[in-house]
Amino acid sequence: MSADGVDDSPEAEDWLPVLSFEEAFADDAKPSVSSRRKQRRAERASIRSAHERAGTRELRAVFQVLEALPAALPDLAANTRQVAGRAGGYCRDGVANTAADAEGEADETLPAPKKPKGRKHCPDVAEVDALLTQATAVLRTDCPYGALPEVFAPPEGLAILSAMIERPPKYQEKYLGQEWSILTKVSSLQEVVWALAGSPDGQEGKDIAVVDIGAGNGSLAMLAALLLGGHAVLVDHTLPPEPLRVEGRLPAEYRHRILRVTGDVGDLDAQEALEPVLAKHGLSRVVVIAKHLCGVGTDLALKLLRRWCWDGLTSGAHRAELLGAVIATCCGHKIGTEDAQVYREIHARDPYLTRITGQDGDRLETFLKICTRCVAWRTTAGASANRITDKQVRAAELFEDALQEPRSLAAASLL
Ligand SMILES: C[S@@+](CC[C@H](N)C(=O)[O-])C[C@H]1O[C@@H](n2cnc3c(N)ncnc32)[C@H](O)[C@@H]1O
């Protein structure tokens, strides 16, 4: 006997009345409308959960994005039409018409299924894989995301730094690798500085400005300036609250090595805003760093540097030299419609974008719209309880590569 008084012992079934055929199928034995509805609801719920397990919705999300790509990338158009007509099925509300569709086992020898009214194409895994492979071939870059090490630095440093720096784990994971990598790259310039100085005496970096664009509190720039023996020049359109500024936390004798320039990197004129500061402090060599400049902030920073380098980093009698630039980007998904035009203008002559879009500005904007919608899939994949699939991550990394390539080329052309 169960707690609610129902006899659920196996023998209890023996006492249920046995109905004749007529009794069982008599009109009054037909399921009521509400019980039929209940049954349909249960069936739909069970199909939905089968598709949740199979990741049908996520597969469709990546498929739709890849399917839109040929409008931006002419080289993809012909191949994609061929693949898109071959496999998959049609489904309603994210539900494929067969289990095989959801599991990616559609028979490629079958003709393409006709699209029934009101149903959406339900791609299968093989179809999405084929589109991804084609997109990868067109968007290939010299240094794809997957080939990058997680940190460009001795790995044990990460564990040590994370034990020393107190920060919520989410930020620790996001920032630490980049900070440690930037510092390692900057410290490699130290050797150049020492070699140029001939016999180092501790003063060899005193003419160096570490210009941090989008510096925020300035801690990273200060560490980089310490490594090289110079000043930190913090450029930001927003002055952080006083308690967060690095200058307020340093021992007094280091504070004079922090210089701030407040302004938007998109509007700043280096000759007007930066060079007088450098000249005043006898800083003639520049190392640029930038970390997490969202959206097109990185592109604007590159534009500023490009103009500055073309102008020769000079103003009147003051001459400056760019020693290097280390830039860690972020938040491609924040490149909105207006930003896409900025990106388009800044990278108008980029050879990579010219190759993939056929030097057509509208195609480039279409491409950016597609890419920026999905680059966050990769970061979301690290969040708890997310449903991002490996196909989405693969697409996100591909788009990230494409967004970054013109930036790498622009940065390389500075030196
Ligand atoms: C995400 S925070 C990163 C701060 C710091 N670089 C770090 O990694 O801790 C981005 C910083 O860039 C600044 N920033 C964003 N866009 C900018 C722009 N167009 N011009 C100047 N500063 C900008 C913001 O005010 C903010 O301090």
Q: How many Å apart are CA 136 and CA 321, to the nearest integer?
A: 38
Report the candidate in 234, 203, 193 with the shortest Cα–Cα distance to residue 216.
Answer: 234
The set of residues, in sequence order, having a beta carbon less than 8 Å from that of 381 and lying 6+ positions away, is: 388, 392, 393, 396
216: tokens are 């925020």
26: tokens are 């008599």
> What digits encode the pLDDT tens for the residues 326-365?
998 877 788 888 888 999 999 989 999 999 998 888 999 9
Question: What share of the chain in percent tops pLDDT 70?
Answer: 79
Residue type at 51 in one-letter notation: H
Please name the residue whose Cα sits nearest to atom 16 of ligand 1: 297
Which phi-psi region, left, alpha or beta, contains residue 286 (left: φ > 0; alpha: ψ -120 to 50)? beta
Q: Which residue has the higher pLDDT, 170 or 216?
A: 216
122: tokens are 């339900």
Q: How many Å apart are CA 122 and CA 24, to the nearest integer?
A: 41
Give the highest mean pLDDT range of 10-24, 47-61, 175-189.
Answer: 175-189
pLDDT at 352: 95
Q: How many Å apart are CA 185 and CA 390, to the nearest integer?
A: 31
CA of 369 to the centre of ligand 1 (A): 23
Q: Which residue has the higher pLDDT, 36 or 194?
A: 36
Most ligand 1 atoms within 8 A of CB, residue of 293, 294, 299, 331 to mutate: 293
Q: Domain coordinates of the chain in residue numbers?
A: 28-139, 146-412
Q: Which residue has the higher pLDDT, 391 or 380?
A: 391
> Among the atoms of ligand 1, which is closest to the Cα of residue 215?
6
Cβ proximity of 391 and 62 under 8 Å: yes
> What digits encode the pLDDT tens for the residues 67-126?
999 999 998 876 655 554 445 554 544 444 433 343 343 434 434 445 555 567 778 899
> Among the atoms of ligand 1, which is closest to the Cα of residue 175?
8
- Sequence length of the chain is 415
Q: Which residue has the higher pLDDT, 99 or 196?
A: 196
Any idea what the Cα angle at residue 70 is, between residues 373 and 92, rounded to 5°?
65
> What digits encode the pLDDT tens for the residues 153-180?
888 888 888 888 888 888 888 888 889 9
DSSP 193-227: HHHHHSS--S-TTTTEEEEEET-TT-HHHHHHHHH
Q: Is the pLDDT of residue 7 over 70?
A: no
Most ligand 1 atoms within 8 A of CB, residue of 223, 238, 274 to mutate: 238
Most ligand 1 atoms within 8 A of CB, residue of 181, 235, 237, 343 to mutate: 237
Q: Which residues line ligand 1 (CB under 6 A)?
A: 214-216, 236-238, 264-266, 291-294, 297, 300
Q: What is the pTM of this model?
A: 0.79
Q: How many Å apart are CA 170 and CA 166, to the nearest integer?
A: 11
The separation between the first and the last C-alpha atoms of the chain, rounded to the nearest angstrom, is 83
**Do β-strands 321-329 and 318-319 pair in parallel, antiparallel, or remain unpaired?**
unpaired
Cβ proximity of 100 and 32 under 8 Å: no
Residue type at 140 in one-letter notation: R
- H or E, element range at 42: helix 33-54
CA of 42 to the centre of ligand 1 (A): 51
CA of 207 to the centre of ligand 1 (A): 25
CA of 235 to the centre of ligand 1 (A): 9
pLDDT at 233: 98
pLDDT at 106: 40
> Among the atoms of ligand 1, which is closest to the Cα of residue 214?
12
